[in-house]
Amino acid sequence: MGAGMDGVVDTLMRMFIQPGTKALISTPTFSYYEIAVRAQGGTPVFIRRSADFSIDTDAVISSIDYSTNMVFLCSPNNPSGNSIPESDLREILDRSDALVFLDEAYVEFANMQLTHLSNEYD
């Protein structure tokens, strides 16, 4: 719970990001992720989306290392409107020890919702 998405992101940044840690951000996307990471002294690592604006799952996974504390994924994405296929999200969740932040702020405009996965993953 929080005071809008910015408040939720701020709280998570204070909890999980500190100098020397990284957060992966699949771009283009909601610009506040970068601002919040930098505000806590973390390093944003930008992963370009594919030509069709889909998540490059392999690039996300290959960019995760020991200093990656968070992965930001927005579905449907702001501004492209693309949704993350459940299989891609599962692959990222299965292969990452980082906190995966799934932003579904615009889920009303999507044909699927992925929050049910929170019951399967820590």
Global pTM reads: 0.88
- pLDDT tier, 1 (very low <50, low <70, confident <90, very high otherwise): low
Is the pLDDT at 35 greater than 80, yes or no? Answer: yes
For residue range 59-118, what is the model confidence (pLDDT) as tens digits?
A: 999 999 999 999 999 988 888 888 899 999 999 999 999 999 988 776 667 677 787 777
Question: In the 8-state DSSP scheme, what is residue 79?
Answer: T
Asked if residue 112 is part of any domain, the answer here is no
> What is the model's pLDDT at position 2?
67
Residue 118, in any domain of the structure:
no
Predicted local distance difference test score (pLDDT) of residue 106: 64
**Residue 23's domain is classified under what CATH number?**
3.40.640.10
Q: Is the pLDDT of residue 27 over 90?
A: yes
d(Cα 115, Cα 56) in Å, to the nearest integer?
20
Higher pLDDT, 29 or 109: 29
Output the CA torsion sign for 80, 81, 86, 87: negative
Domain that holds residue 64: 4-76+86-105
Residue 27 counted as domain residue: yes
Asked whether residue 35 is domain-assigned, the answer is yes
Percent of the chain whose pLDDT exceeds 70: 93
User: How many CA atoms does the CB half-sphere of 28 hold within 13 Å?
Assistant: 7
Q: Is residue 70 part of a domain?
A: yes
Say how many C-beta atoms besides its own lie within 10 A of residue 20's C-beta.
10
Residue 120 maps to a domain: no
DSSP label at residue 119: G
